Structure 1
Amino acid sequence: MFSSISTAPAKQSVSDTISVLSGRLSSATLLEDRRAAILGLRSFAKDFPATVASGALRSLIGSLSNDGEDVDTVKVVLETLLMLFSPNQDSPEASDEIVLWLADEFTQRQDNITLLLDFLEGADFYSRLYSLQLLTAILSARAERTEECVLAAPLGISRLALVTCADIIKGNTTLQESFAQLQVPSPLSQPSSGARDEGGPDRDPEVYVIDGLLDLTLAVSANDMFDVRIAACDCLKAYFFDHAEIRLHFLKRAIEGYKTGLDETANVLAVLLRPNNDDAIVNPYRPWFAAIITFHLLFNNPEAKRLAMAVTEGDAEDGEEIVTSIQSVAAHLLSGLGREQDSRVATGYLILLLGWMFEDLEAVNDFLAEGSNIQGLIQVVVRPGPADEIIQGLCAMILGEIYEFSTKDSPIPRASLHAILLSRLGKEKFIDRLSRLRTNPLMRDFEVLPQKLDPSSPGRLPEVFFDITFVDFFKDNYSRLLRAIDREPGLEIPVSANGVQQGISRDLVDSLRAQLGEKSKALDESHMASTTLERQLGQEQADHRKSRENAAVGLAKVNAAIDAVRRDHAAELDKLRQQLASEQAENARQLKQASQSKEVELEAGRRKLVSVQEDYKRQIEYTKKTSEAELEKLRRKIASLSDDHEKQLSKASKAAEVEVDRLKHRADAEAADLRATISRLEVDLMKTNKTKAQELHTLQEEHAAQLALTQQQSLAKVETQINLANESASKCARLEKELNEAKQDGLKIAANLAEVTDAKQAIQTELDDLLMVFADLEDKVSKYKARLRKIGEEVSDGEDEESEDESEDGQEQSDDDGESEDEAGNGQVTATRKTA
């Protein structure tokens, strides 16, 4: 019963596992299940590439298409496909035929290569990297077929090539200038089929790259070519980015082509000023691209704006009305809005006008010359019902910009324009339209939205309305234009173009007129002040000459005193140097004498010590010799006594035994006494040697101490002499410091003299400037009187007499002021003399 439970399940083979995973990948409905199946297949791809490819290759490629929006799934699929192209070397299924078969599977269907090319434009790094590696592997296996698929794919790599080219030349002046000289095959021409069939060379007509980019941007109408068109437009913008000369050259060529009427297909001005309404319905991006290119040509370029404004239509000699380029653009804009044309066309015109009229008073006045333009824009902004937020917001922005840069002298005066906007439009609606435009996803999320054709919506126009430069312009000036309607009409905005300020405040004009009368009165006062200044100048010159003479005399005295002090210091310094030299010689002599005397004393001490040592040695030797002689005498006496005893013993041995013993004991006692005497003498000798050695050591220490004391006394005398020398040196330094201070006093006197000279020159320069100002004021007064007489205003004699009376009063007041200034000047000169 339990045997079946304990039995292990049958082991599944690799091919069966791969088949199960392949079936799960093709039939699973959940993304997680498909991803798990792909991960399982990836684990077998390196070792069993043929089995995995035969069972799951098409399912893997289909997963790239079906699950292309999931980054993780795409990454795993691409990794699996790359493993199939590069299996392990020791795999039994690894062979070159597998790689060729995989490449054929990709290149047999154009959609497979197109799918990989689409991943190159994604944002994920690994998807782009693996797609590029996979294309490289396919190209290595089937080069010719892969090239055909890439070139035949929609857009292929042309868009990426144009974007790369734009990134390379943008901001590089050298590359921008050389880029225009390149020639490329015309994008509008078709290659000769006969030449290709016969294997002959491709004879497509070549054009300059700028003309080719214009043709690609403006003349191509296919919707699926939009990505290439916008890439070509970006390349054109990079060509004249931040290069004023190229922008002007490009615009001049466009103006010349517009006036001559040649090749209007790829001329931006011809597309804008002579639009084809039927073509705008089919290809609305043609005028949009033309407007964007022109916007970049004119933006922040006053010279280009001036050239574009000079373009007109109509012949005045034939009685035709002259229509300027701005009026033509405005007319086509309002006409398209009235026909409810595609909003992309109107958006392009509005972007162009916003960049053109910003901080350009002449362009604003030209736009206001046609009064219906304002009415048409207001009608679009206040139009009821569902409306395009982009169009209404841009129209409101143009109205705010026109009011911001309008003046009192505009065709529609600033005050009238302000009243029209408040009455017809209203502040709340104006702010509401601009706010809606700002919050519109196409404007708000411009940086994150893909500005290209949506492949998931074939046949529909892409949702591309703005340009990155215009988006930055809108965000930078949104607050300014939002508050423009709140600004008083009397306060005009000054604008500087080409270094010339345009637009003035009317209050400033009135104040200047009021100042004219004050300047006339000031002119008369200036005449009187000049006379006073001349008198002051004469007095100042006399005082200056006197102060200069006094300064010269004082300087001579100071120089003489400095020379005398210098001589005294030099003599005293020489005397001190001689005294120092003599003292140093005396110190050296005394030191030498002290050294010699000490050496003599030391030598005498040494000799005395040697003599004492010799005396002690002689005494010791004498004592030793005396002791030895006595010892020898005793020894001989003992020997003689021994002989006598032996002779007496032979005669009377028995009788003399007692005597012999007695004598023997006596001899032993005497010998012991002699030995004790010898020991005592030896001890006395040792004591005598020790005492004499101690006396010798004590004598040596006394001589050493006396020698050290003598050396210390000598060193003290030498240090005393050195201190005297140092005091002499410090005294010399003090005298040199006094000499330097005397020199600095002389330099200060010279500096004061130079300041007096500079003050004189400054007074003379100020007088010359005042004379020039008075001359200019006299000329201006004469011109003003002549202009007044020229326009019919009479200058009565009473006014002349009144001005003369005022001049006399001003003269008296100036005389009083002159006297006070003379006193102040005299006080200043006196202070200068005291300082000197």
Structure 2
Amino acid sequence: MEFLSQTYIALRGPTGAPQSASDAIARLSDRLSPATLLADRRAAVLSLKGLTRDCKAEVGDRTLPGLLEVLQNDAEVDADTGKAVLETLNLLCEVSEDGPAHAKELSFKYTDYVLADEKTTHKLFALLGDHSFYLRLTVLQFLIVLLQNRRQVVQAYFLKAPVGPTTVISALEEKREIIRTVPDTNGEEWDRLEPASALDALVELILHGEYNGIYSGKRTKDGMELRGAALENFVQKDQIGEAIVQAMAPVEGSSEPPPMTPLLQALIIPPASPLEIAAVTSTHLSTLLFSDLLRFSSRAKTVARNIYPQPPLPSQDTGSFFVPADGTAPAIHISDEVPEDDEPQSLLQILSEHLSLALLSRRRADTSEREAREWDRLIVGYLCLLIQWLWEDPAAVRDFLEAGALGMLVEPINQIPESDPVIPGLCAFLLGLCYEFNREPGEINRSTIYPILTRLGIDMLVGRITHLRDDDRFKAIGPDTLVLPYPSQGITNSDGEKEAEIWFDWAFVDFWKSNYYTVQKGIAIDPKAPPPSAGQNAETATLVASLREVIQKQAQDIESLQSKLKELSTQSEEVEALRTQIASVQEELAEAQEKRQEVEKEQEDLLVLLDELVSEDEEEGDEEEE
């Protein structure tokens, strides 16, 4: 009754007459001021929440600053007020896929206002640590909306949040339904995290969709976007990635095998027919994670070659990482007895065998269209990992070729129809990569591979590589686009929700676009030709050539300027000589003028003397006459 009374007082006019929506929103906006009572602010927020559905633009334009102020000041003090204001902000910022264009623009406008600075985002991460379950749930729901609208902005703010990692891990450890809406694994700054379980928690979230294996069998769009967001920011620093890989390798001087990490265990699970969707998704995402650790780190690649996973015994407990919510753990086909004389296989050899097995299973005649697509996705994961691992790593290329890679790669290039360019394109790229970086002595060298390339046809291989970028699954990937809807037939899960899938991540697409020209150019080079400069792709080569032209032009300009300087130096010497001559002439002229003046003075004196003599003669003549 108190709430209804407060709401009625807030909505009625000064004389008790009903107000228009605009007048009511203006009055409610005034009641959001900190000068009012907390109960009045709560009532105003609840009223605005109801008005938002019909008057979204007016509520957002008039009250958004006040709502954010209430969030900052009252959410921690009163959970009900915090929940109400978060629900109102959620309604203002949520984008409806079926809504009109102007409604979407309005939601993005309010999202940009909320994210204008890090203040609101940091407050949301702080509220994740609140004791109120429903307040935390509402915070997570609002964060999901902000992430969907402006993912990169929220990720950047999270990296700077004072309490972000702590509250995120707290949310990950939540056992209730709240974990289904966790958006908080974006951009973990792992050097801040002290608990060793933080990494395993995030890896499990990526591989299985939810913490502790819950809901891992589902592939809804929201769930896959959550896992993709965690994947995109798995490791931010090379040193941390190298440390993760080092933890999988045996410790030098120790006879004990390294622990089986969730990521390594997901990588070594062999594909089994019939395929389990949860297992395929887990293995595929594990290849993306491991690629992220190796891509640009030569040290991590060196360590990875020394990883020799220990096959788990039948009685060994594999933990809960690979138990789907609606099924049992994927079967691991191993014998009860392991011969003592069998040498352990490296991780690279295991991945090669799994790729070969997947390619063989894909060609089975009794494979359904659904299962064939899952086999393709698993094969793409293996190929993308191997491409990024073997790049600029001749030792890994040698090991891969000695594991029988040539025949394994040649068959898909020839047999898989051109209607699906993804697998043939990736196989052709990997084959060209092996030829380009096969620089260490071994049984299979460049001279062995080159006849195979020429027999397949250089133009055909180049075409296979080029056609990969025309596939919709490749073209659709961008910095903010990772999850794709399932094909047009609209496959749904048991709850009637449409499924989604991940094929490539943006890091691989960007890597491929930067380096495919190098592979295309390299497969046509004679096997005895010297290796090109390491790490020079098409863009780098173009840049170097451009810089060389600039340097050559600058050298010519310098030479021309030096010639002009010499000419000017010669001219300056001539000018100096002329100046000396002019000075000498001026001195001679001055002397001549002085002499002239002296002569003129002497002449004047002579004339005066002559006049005086003439005057004296005249006077003497006059005297004589007298």
Amino acid across the alignment from 1:309: R
Q: Distance in 1 between matches of 2:27 and 2:426?
A: 62
1:432-831 alignment runs, 5 A limit: 432-447=463-478, 450-452=481-483, 459-493=497-531
Deviation at 1:251, TM superposition (A): 1.0
Aligned to 2:293, the other structure's residue is in SS state helix
Structure 2 CA distance for partners of 1:322 and 1:210, relative to 1, 3 Å: closer
Structure 2 CA distance for partners of 1:375 and 1:407, relative to 1, 3 Å: same
Q: Distance in 2 between matches of 1:385 and 1:449?
A: 31
Asked if 1:128 is matched to 2:111, the reply is yes
Amino acid across the alignment from 1:375: G
* 1:256-294 Cα shifts (integer Å, max 9, x gaps): 59x978875x52222112346478522533223222222
- What is aligned with 1:663? none
- What is aligned with 1:229? 227
Amino acid across the alignment from 1:296: D
Contact 2:263–2:286 (CA under 8 A) maintained in structure 1 = yes
Contact 1:217–1:229 (CA under 8 A) maintained in structure 2 = yes
Deviation at 1:399, TM superposition (A): 0.8
Deviation at 1:163, TM superposition (A): 6.2
Q: Distance in 2 between matches of 1:186 and 1:452?
A: 23
Q: Distance in 2 between matches of 1:109 and 1:179?
A: 18
Deviation at 1:353, TM superposition (A): 0.8
Deviation at 1:478, TM superposition (A): 1.5
Contact 1:183–1:209 (CA under 8 A) maintained in structure 2 = no
Asked if 1:391 is matched to 2:423, the reply is yes
Q: Distance in 2 between matches of 1:162 and 1:490?
A: 49
Deviation at 1:297, TM superposition (A): 1.7
Scaled by the length of structure 1, what TM-score is found? Answer: 0.40
Deviation at 1:366, TM superposition (A): 0.6
- What is aligned with 2:458? 427
Asked if 1:405 is matched to 2:437, the reply is yes
Structure 2 CA distance for partners of 1:262 and 1:275, relative to 1, 3 Å: farther
- What is aligned with 1:210? 199
Q: Distance in 1 between matches of 2:165 and 2:172?
A: 16
Deviation at 1:364, TM superposition (A): 0.9
Q: Distance in 1 between matches of 2:57 and 2:224?
A: 32
* 1:468-503 Cα shifts (integer Å, max 9, x gaps): 322222111111111222111221426769xxxxxx
Deviation at 1:400, TM superposition (A): 0.8
Contact 1:368–1:410 (CA under 8 A) maintained in structure 2 = no
* 1:153-192 Cα shifts (integer Å, max 9, x gaps): 497479689966853687x9xx99x999999337366269
Deviation at 1:320, TM superposition (A): 0.7
Structure 2 CA distance for partners of 1:180 and 1:86, relative to 1, 3 Å: closer
Structure 2 CA distance for partners of 1:369 and 1:211, relative to 1, 3 Å: same
What percent of counterpart residues are identical? 22
- What is aligned with 2:290? 294
- What is aligned with 2:53? 61
- What is aligned with 1:306? 302
Q: Distance in 1 between matches of 2:347 and 2:447?
A: 26
Contact 2:474–2:509 (CA under 8 A) maintained in structure 1 = yes
**Match among 407, 431, 434 for residue 375 of structure 1:** 407
Aligned to 2:235, the other structure's residue is in SS state helix
Amino acid across the alignment from 1:211: D
| Matched length | 398
Contact 1:163–1:235 (CA under 8 A) maintained in structure 2 = no
Q: Distance in 1 between matches of 2:198 and 2:204?
A: 10
Deviation at 1:226, TM superposition (A): 2.1
Structure 2 CA distance for partners of 1:107 and 1:86, relative to 1, 3 Å: closer
Deviation at 1:45, TM superposition (A): 6.9
Amino acid across the alignment from 1:349: Y
Q: Distance in 2 between matches of 1:378 and 1:343?
A: 16
1:310-329 alignment runs, 5 A limit: 310-312=306-308, 318-329=340-351
- What is aligned with 1:269? 264
Asked if 1:285 is matched to 2:281, the reply is yes
Q: Distance in 1 between matches of 2:257 and 2:56?
A: 54
Structure 2 CA distance for partners of 1:309 and 1:44, relative to 1, 3 Å: same
Contact 1:273–1:325 (CA under 8 A) maintained in structure 2 = yes
Structure 2 CA distance for partners of 1:453 and 1:154, relative to 1, 3 Å: farther
Aligned to 1:319, the other structure's residue is in SS state coil
Contact 2:26–2:62 (CA under 8 A) maintained in structure 1 = no
Structure 2 CA distance for partners of 1:154 and 1:351, relative to 1, 3 Å: farther
Amino acid across the alignment from 1:362: A
- What is aligned with 1:688? none
* 1:610-652 Cα shifts (integer Å, max 9, x gaps): xxxxxxxxxxxxxxxxxxxxxxxxxxxxxxxxxxxxxxxxxxx
Amino acid across the alignment from 1:435: T
Contact 1:120–1:131 (CA under 8 A) maintained in structure 2 = no
- What is aligned with 2:172? 187
Contact 2:51–2:59 (CA under 8 A) maintained in structure 1 = no
More helix by share: 1
Deviation at 1:81, TM superposition (A): 3.0
Structure 2 CA distance for partners of 1:460 and 1:484, relative to 1, 3 Å: farther
Amino acid across the alignment from 1:413: N
Q: Distance in 1 between matches of 2:265 and 2:359?
A: 20
- What is aligned with 2:399? 366
- What is aligned with 2:386? 353
Deviation at 1:387, TM superposition (A): 4.7
* 1:736-785 Cα shifts (integer Å, max 9, x gaps): xxxxxxxxxxxxxxxxxxxxxxxxxxxxxxxxxxxxxxxxxxxxxxxxxx
Q: Distance in 1 between matches of 2:172 and 2:49?
A: 38
Amino acid across the alignment from 1:323: Q
Amino acid across the alignment from 1:61: R
Deviation at 1:397, TM superposition (A): 0.6
Deviation at 1:339, TM superposition (A): 2.5
* 1:394-421 Cα shifts (integer Å, max 9, x gaps): 1111011011112483322322211112
**Match among 82, 106, 109 for residue 60 of structure 2:** 82
Structure 2 CA distance for partners of 1:86 and 1:469, relative to 1, 3 Å: closer
Aligned to 1:250, the other structure's residue is in SS state helix
Q: Distance in 2 between matches of 1:87 and 1:191?
A: 33
Q: Highest Rg: 1 or 2? A: 1
- What is aligned with 1:339? 361
Contact 1:213–1:232 (CA under 8 A) maintained in structure 2 = yes
Q: Distance in 1 between matches of 2:84 and 2:439?
A: 67
Contact 1:406–1:414 (CA under 8 A) maintained in structure 2 = yes
- What is aligned with 1:147? 135
- What is aligned with 2:554? none
The answer for unaligned runs of 5 or more in structure 2 is 1-19, 30-44, 67-79, 98-103, 125-130, 179-194, 210-215, 312-337, 363-373, 536-626
Aligned Cα RMSD in Å?
5.4
Q: Distance in 2 between matches of 1:87 and 1:113?
A: 11
Structure 2 CA distance for partners of 1:395 and 1:60, relative to 1, 3 Å: same
Structure 2 CA distance for partners of 1:113 and 1:376, relative to 1, 3 Å: farther
Q: Distance in 2 between matches of 1:107 and 1:85?
A: 14
* 1:318-377 Cα shifts (integer Å, max 9, x gaps): 221443222211211222233234433222221211111111111111111023x22222
